Amino acid sequence: MTDLSLASRPVRRIGFGAMQLPGPGVFGPPKDPETALAVLRRAVELGVNHIDTAQYYGPDVSNDLIHRALHPYPADLVIVSKVGARRDEAGGWLPAGSPAELRAGVEANLRSLALDRVDVVNLRVHAPAEPDARFEAQLDTMAGLREEGLIGGVGISNVSEAQLRRAAELTEVACVQNPYNLVDRASARVLAACEELRIAFVPFFPMGSGFPGANRVLDHPALVSTAARLGAEPGQVALAWLLAHSPWLLLIPGTSSLAHLEENLAAGDLALDAVALATLDAAAP
């Protein structure tokens, strides 16, 4: 696997997403904090140098765990966070995209992670749409925070192709985070634009964990049969397919299990043959 860069910081193509470390619904503390800390430490031991988080995971829970497990941070570790949302007292997800809220979100990440600068911060927009004055003002705020040295790079998340292209006109974009996996390819045009613009694309829910009910990715017959033929786990095949799908994809699979962590990272060594790639490429709805 060839490394990519985030804000000029090289990262390996499989990182770690901290969203699953807090309690149920990404709210409150984990049931087993010591295992959560062990997962983070083991990830770094196995070569992970890209961790994705957010202050509103918990809130503060995932950032606190990262700080407790890894501070002082390894020199090559790239921490990526996000702003643009907040949690209510019941754990609900609310937008928080005003300039003041974006600044407060960055400052909250700096405090909870004990950093002077967050390597990359993604602007999470409420929904993909056409670019508008509000979106441009949010980008201006993020660029200003980068100029102040509080963040190293500006990413964008949950955006349309038009928003990505407008953002790239207005400022340097470090990465794009949109949903993308074997069965959800709605962001295919965004991915294609990232390839054209040479911007890293970081798919969230790469193994379908964001779907309610049955897992439409891991239970997909094409994935299950391919994994059985290759002697691999379905999740490993789902990740390996993404790595083969585009050289501009960076993965951040998350887990609160040491066994699943090692399984996910081993996907980087799984080679998919031509039959597997053709079968999985054709598996989209």
**Interval 115-165: pLDDT, tens:** 999 999 999 999 999 999 999 999 999 999 999 999 999 999 999 999 999
pLDDT of 258 reads 98
Please tell me which residue in 56, 57, 73, 180 is annotated as part of the active site. 57
Residue type at 281? D
pLDDT of 3 reads 84
> What is the dihedral sign for C-alpha 273, 190, 140, 53?
negative
Structural domains in the chain plus CATH codes: 11-281 (3.20.20.100)
Within 8 A by CB and 6+ apart from 75, the residues are none
Q: 156: helix, coil or strand?
A: strand
Percentage of the chain surpassing pLDDT 90? 95
Q: Are 79 and 116 in contact (CB under 8 A)?
A: no
- Pick 233 or 208 by higher pLDDT: 233
Q: How far apart are CA 280 and CA 285, in angstroms?
A: 11
- Pick 69 or 1 by higher pLDDT: 69
pLDDT at residue 211 is higher than 60: no
Q: Which residues pair with 232 in a beta bridge?
A: none
pLDDT of 167 reads 98
Q: How far apart are CA 52 and CA 35, in angstroms?
A: 18
- pLDDT class of 285 with cuts at 50, 70, 90: confident
Q: What is the reported pTM?
A: 0.96
Q: How far apart are CA 166 and CA 192, in angstroms?
A: 15
Q: 80: helix, coil or strand?
A: strand
Neighbours of 240 (CB within 10 A): 26
- pLDDT, tens digit, for every residue of 59-84? 999 999 999 999 999 999 999 999 99
Is residue 73 annotated as part of the catalytic site, yes or no?
no
For residue 145, give Cα distances in angstroms to 38, 66, 139, 140.
Answer: 33, 23, 10, 9
Q: Are 56 and 85 in contact (CB under 8 A)?
A: yes
With both helix axes pointing from N to C terminus, report the angle between 133-147 and 161-170 in degrees, rounded to the nearest 10: 40
